[in-house]
Amino acid sequence: MNLSHLSIKTARHYLRSEPVRMIFFLLWVAAVIKIIMAGNTPNPMVLEPSQQEGYNFGLVISLLVVMCLHGGALLALDVYIKSYWKFVCMFIVTALPLFFFGLMLIHAPEALLWLILWLVASFLAFFFICFGLACLLLLDLILKK
């Protein structure tokens, strides 16, 4: 993919070429919207309304940066790696932030829960894709003998 030929038409063709890409993109957009909306969730443990915090800009912005970096890494791997090893790379790229943010699950605010949910969903998707490809490879090796 050349940056000089990048347009809405090429992006639309990229998403429509495989339905899994479109579903993955729509789920990514839904997770981004839920993270933005979760920044304004009131704390139910606060008794007085004057003690309620405002919109949590710092957390939401940092989570959106993580989502954009994760999405960009997955997009770059999908575009520039043509073999099936790209799914293993995507699996590793998804596992690393999941292990990092998964440790914060106990005390996580709602916006972080949506990021973790997105990472778990993409982790499971890549896990099953890699598992299916490994099974096909083993089946192919067994049938060749």
Predicted TM-score (pTM) of the model is 0.78
For the stretch 17-34, pLDDT in tens is 888 888 888 899 999 999
| Structure confidence at residue 38 (pLDDT) | 85
121 pLDDT above the threshold of 80: yes
6 pLDDT above the threshold of 70: no
Tokens for 124, please give them: 């499971």
One-letter amino acid identity for 61?
I
| Structure confidence at residue 67 (pLDDT) | 93
Tokens for 61, please give them: 């912005």
- Indicate the pLDDT class of residue 3, thresholds 50, 70 and 90: low
For the stretch 51-82, pLDDT in tens is 666 677 888 899 999 999 999 999 899 889 88
Rounded to an integer, the average pLDDT of 90-102 is 91
Which phi and psi angles does 10 have, rounded to 5°? -70, -35
Query: Nearest-CA neighbor of 123 among 77, 88, 81, 83?
Result: 88
Residue 42: count other Cβ atoms within 10 Å of its Cβ. 9
